[in-house]
Amino acid sequence: MIWAHVALIAVAVVVTGAPLSVAGFTLSLGAGAPSMAEAATTARASHAWAASATPALLGTGLSYDYLLDDGEGDVILPAAIRGGTPAVARAAWLTATTAVLTDPRSDATIDIVLGEDFPITVEADQVVGSGWLLVKPNTIGFDRQGYVPTAAVTYQPPAAGSTSSAGMDALSPELADYLAGWGTQVGLTVTDLASGITYGYNGDQPFVTASSVKVALMFALLRQLEAADQSPSEEQLQLLTAMIEWSDNDAAEAIDIMVGDREGLRAFAEELGLDGFSPGSTYAEGWGWGTLTPGAMVRLLTLFEQGNVLASSADQALARQLLSSIDSDQRTGVGSTAPDGAFVMMKNGWVPGPDDLWVFNSSGIVELNGHAYIIAAYTAHNASLEQGQEIVVHAAAAIAALLG
């Protein structure tokens, strides 16, 4: 943090420019800011001078008692003392997972929580109390400011390819409120590949896969063929087409046998380091009764989009073609809400769950104008299929409006 030292009193501020002279006292600017507590200790050492350093002199509205008490609140160095040069907001990043507070005097005022390397803007002409900065998260749908510890902020960009994460409220407080109204009935994860930020609501909660698992079945078969230096046979191409484009369950059953059933899918998940995917069923026999988290599906699709699932360019092209050719009556959710002109690869899943209530899932990759977002919206315990579709469509439409 940049700091200002006025004789024996130090006020934590953010300023720019060369040393200034104010009423005979020198403001020296530099890195390595003392905390407000350190500044107050210095002030105590010269009580007589400090008591005479009136707010009128400093132009900050701070009193001597404020300094001695390690005061809280906004401390703004006026333009007159800054030499008339407005401070400029600075790009910064978080060094660890950090809560953003609406009031730094109480951790009960947590607004949102942002992950390591999350990009923020420091409002550089304001410093709050001892060791707090006023910041704004760099995200599309969140327009509020809040406070984070100075120690959690760096002005050095993270390494290329770094990613970060946050709750859905950091992307859209309105969408987060909507999802919270459904509680554990819904999970949503979305990654904006342009920024590398992943937003989630119940993203680590497992949901019954239903036909969503057919994406993993396709990838597992193609990877096994690649390992054997083989291409899909005509029969396998027909089965893949039926399973993905039409969601044919008989075709999925045949491919499930080819990949080795649950053990084959477990091996596939382990090879990719895919936590959150459990092909084993606790409900009933069959490939569609495992569980998958929205976060795991987004990670799988992200790996695929980045070319890290399939080694063969021909297999990559085949998978993209199949996932983008879903029957029109099976595009509800990610497909039906995508922006005009977008290229969409997707797969839905739906089934009455073990509680006789409906599961409905929609996940996919949406590419538009050179960038992409990846989304998985999963629901369970729906009174009807239509209810699950309504929740997913609402969430997917909100994401499309923000990131499309």
Q: What's the one-letter identity of residue 386?
A: E
Strands 164-167 and 197-201: parallel
* Residue whose C-alpha is closest to residue 171's, from 194, 192, 152: 192
DSSP string computed for 207-241: EE-GGGHHHHHHHHHHHHHHHTT----HHHHHHHH
* Residue whose C-alpha is closest to residue 72's, from 40, 49, 47, 99: 40
Three-state DSSP at 149 gives strand
84: tokens are 């008339």
What pTM, to 2 d.p., does this model score? Answer: 0.78
- Strands across the sheet with 291-292, in order? 207-208, 291-292, 277-278
Strands 3-6 and 9-11: antiparallel
Q: Which DSSP symbol is given to 247?
A: -
Q: What's residue 55's pLDDT?
A: 31
Which domains occur in the chain, in start order?
3-72 (no CATH), 90-162 (2.30.30.40), 170-403 (3.40.710.10)
Q: Mean pLDDT in runs of 10 for the chain (404 residues)?
A: 35 34 30 33 30 31 35 40 51 94 81 94 65 88 88 92 94 97 98 96 96 97 98 98 97 95 94 92 72 97 98 98 97 98 98 91 96 97 97 98 94
Give the CB-side neighbour count of residue 199, counting CA atoms within 13 A.
29
Q: What's residue 87's pLDDT?
A: 55
Whole-angstrom distance, CA of residue 179 vs CA of residue 196:
23
